[in-house]
Amino acid sequence: MITNTELEKKGNLFPSKLVSYEQNGDSICFTSENGVQLIITVVRDSMLRFRYATDGIFENDFSYAIDEDQSHGYSVLDLTEDEEFIWITTEQIKCRINRVDMRTAMFDLEDQLILQDELGFHWEESFEFGGNYVKMSKNSMDGENFYGLGDKPTTFNLKGKRLSNWNTDQYAFGKDLPELYKTIPFYIGLHSAKAYGIFFDNTFKTHFDFCHERRHITSFWADGGEMNYYFIYGPKIAEVVTKYTNLTGRPELPPMWALGYHQSKWSYYPEAKVKELAAGFRDNKFPCDALYLDIDYMDGFRCFTWNKDYFPEPKRMVEELEDDGFKTVAIIDPGIKIDEKYEIFADGLEKDYFCKRADGPYMRGKVWPGNCVFPDFTNPEVREWWADHYKTLIAETGIKGVWNDMNEPAVMEVPGKTFPLDVRHDYDGNRCSHRKAHNIYGMQMARATYEGVKKYIFPKRPFTITRASYSGGQRFSSTWTGDNLASWEHLWLANTQIQRLGMSGFSFSGTDIGGFADQPTGELFTRWIQLGVFHPFCRVHSSGDHGEQEPWYFGEEVLDITRKFVELRYQLLPYLYTAFYQYCEDNVPILKPLVYFDQEDVQTHYRADEFIFGNHFLVCPIQEPNVQGRRMYIPRGRWYNFWNDAVIEGGKELWVDAALDSMPIFVKEGAIIPKYPVQQYVDELEIEELSLDVYYKNGKQNSVYYEDDHDGYDYKMGLFNLRTFKLTGKSKEIIVQQHVAGTYESNLKTMKVTFHGLPFEIKSASVNNEDVSLESIGYDKESNTIILQENFTDLRLISE
């Protein structure tokens, strides 16, 4: 008997008419005539979850992305119906379900349409793998724009793009590649000055079309699994990003040293080279907090080992580096060399912890050690086993941070550069193939690493970095954008990618400053440093094949300029640390694209050169060679030129001068910026005087400064201070008030306050509501500077 499978293939299938629905607490289950079920769950008043089952059977409800510690709750859930529709109404949104075909639409409470299904949910049976290709298409509104999706190396606004998610090792990747190292299937839609988010929590290969195939249709689909997505209503982009980040989890506060300048290369060895590198930074008075060891520190690239020819006494070396202010960060890859004499391999083999093919043999692949096997990090026992191995690096040797690479997972010399699709995974008890586990493999390795480093670095805080990840991976690690290229195009990409990651919940990110592949010119390296010091993670990393990439190798001019900007980062560490606190505590991204900052200004919708650093700085990198400035857009409001205090009214594009030793930096009026003195590394000095730069505003503005011990967990027991500064500016008076919340005993004794842009000459002052002489507060007329006790509560400067 001959069967024509093409005749059996049905193509796209759709839900038929609604026949019943039932509410169970916060969820309503809808059933169609052809057996499709849709469960809509009210997660919050502004967030709904949609799950579809084509045969009435839902998968086990398990997600690596969702933070189990996040808070849920809503105020209103009303369920009503009419002849055509079922309506779900919360305190912020309405959801309409069509009785004819179960298509849905989302409205605000003023009945403005936010998002509606076009074809809506549909599916296609997979005859090759089983299960379904699950699909969703939505109508795109006039003037709608799209943002997010993680580290995609493309234009910031995704309208017109078609992209996919399959974590891939992309050496020297190019612009507009659809797939890179991370999978973050979350995007933001913006139209009519209102924003919403879609998080498609599906770990199979996923695809997104933002009006590419059809100009008024946006769609997303997956090669398997469930149609399972969250609708998140703003209406502000800031609210969407915060709610998504809360849903998928926030990281804990990193140690401050992790925010300093870091230096890496493939590879620094032997020990003498590492010591020479360390001496270079200190001799050149170039601040640096961390040095990285790439794969050559290991014995034959075996994880958790040392090459004793290169590093005969690693513990001693690490201690000596720390004595000079350097933390040591070491790389760990997932590939375990097949070697019966290698303890990790033998132990993992005995415990059956390595990934296997469908028919039973271990998955073998070639990476740096040669033929390797790979731990199944989706197995909680394997994660715990892996975490315990960090005892040798962290507790016994003194390594302070760990860097996970090649964890897409990357495999050499095979089609697709990764595991075969038939490899099996535990998936925390939900056994599956690599088709489902591929995109979360790197995240689960980073999770195991984080748990191990945290266990053995305690009572200090862990620092980890990963190349591959999935939504929610920010809970366990920082990240970088991978093997970029020393080119001006990649400098532009670096700027765009880090802004995109911040919008996607993954703020603690950076790039290989200067480019990993190829060799930058001194000018390119300088301009990249200028951008990199304003990224949350600041690390120079390169392939040693292409030459040296330490700042002094480019000559005195480059050394002086890059030192100047790295010193600026160290001065701004209290400001950056405060931004990290707001990210970790309140889910606020550290970098804010202009559209995040002012979504009602249509001029921001396609701009990505400029960004907001923290809450008060406007930064715009120079991204072309041989230029002495650039045109940039100044967002609405009044801004001070950081270099000369010139005030600019925003809402327009203009030319800004920027010779090689400068870049366009502006400060928002009303800002109060905390600054440290320049240090060669974090906590080199005991800071007893904090500088405050106050930028005059005719009006009111609040700023905050967070302080704690810079490491450890005392802050979780309330041992921190959150200082709120309230500025009130008038034509002939300025008032600065300080409120301190917290129980941390600060080392600060005084605050040096410098005023910028005062429209009057200071003639008199009062502190804490008592008149004082200008001499008693150290008033310097030339610099507009005064000195106050750190616990002041009220300062008034008057022109009369």
DSSP letter at 39? Answer: E
Rounded CA-CA distance 576/467 in Å is 23
User: Exposed, middle or buried by CB within 10 Å (0-12, 13-18, 19+), for 321?
Assistant: buried
Rounded CA-CA distance 322/539 in Å is 18
Rounded CA-CA distance 572/577 in Å is 8
Q: Which of 477, 453, 333 is nearest to 391 (CA)?
A: 453
DSSP letter at 578? Answer: H
CB neighbours of residue 17 within 10 Å: 12
Residue 288, token pair as written in the block: 């640096």
Using the Cα atoms of residue 623, residue 627, residue 629 and residue 633 in order, give the sign of their dihedral. negative
Rounded CA-CA distance 189/233 in Å is 10
Yes or no: say if 190 and 605 are a contact pair by the CB < 8 Å rule: yes
Residues 6+ apart with CB under 8 A from 283: none
For 606, half-sphere exposure in the C-beta direction (CA atoms, 13 angstrom radius) is 5
Q: What is the largest CA-CA distance in the chain?
A: 104
3-state SS assignment for residue 244: helix
CB neighbours of residue 112 within 10 Å: 11
What does each C-alpha distance from 190 to 15, 115, 206 come to in angstroms?
28, 10, 22
Residue 510, token pair as written in the block: 């950076």
Rounded CA-CA distance 534/538 in Å is 8
Rounded CA-CA distance 380/11 in Å is 39
* Nearest 10 degrees: Cα torsion 664, 665, 669, 672: -170
Strands (E), 663-763: 665-668, 672-675, 689-695, 700-707, 721-730, 733-742, 750-756
Rounded CA-CA distance 445/181 in Å is 14
Q: What are phi and psi of 246, to 5 degrees?
A: -65, -40
Give the length of the chain.
800
3-state SS assignment for residue 564: helix
Yes or no: say if 513 and 541 are a contact pair by the CB < 8 Å rule: yes
Q: Which residues are catalytic?
A: 405, 408, 483
Residue 29, token pair as written in the block: 């289950």
* Cis preceding-peptide flag for 312 (omega within 30 of 0): no
Rounded CA-CA distance 363/555 in Å is 49
Yes or no: say if 294 and 262 are a contact pair by the CB < 8 Å rule: no
Yes or no: say if 511 and 262 are a contact pair by the CB < 8 Å rule: no
Residue 580, token pair as written in the block: 């990290």
Distance of CA 482 to the CA centre of its chain: 14
Q: Specify the pairing of strand 591-593 against strand 611-613.
A: antiparallel
Yes or no: say if 293 and 400 are a contact pair by the CB < 8 Å rule: no
Using the Cα atoms of residue 492, residue 498, residue 502 and residue 504 in order, give the sign of their dihedral. positive
Residue with tokens 């969703």: 136
* Cis preceding-peptide flag for 799 (omega within 30 of 0): no
Residue 777, token pair as written in the block: 């507060």
The partner residues of 653 in beta bridges, in order of sequence, read 633
Residue 559, token pair as written in the block: 């050394």
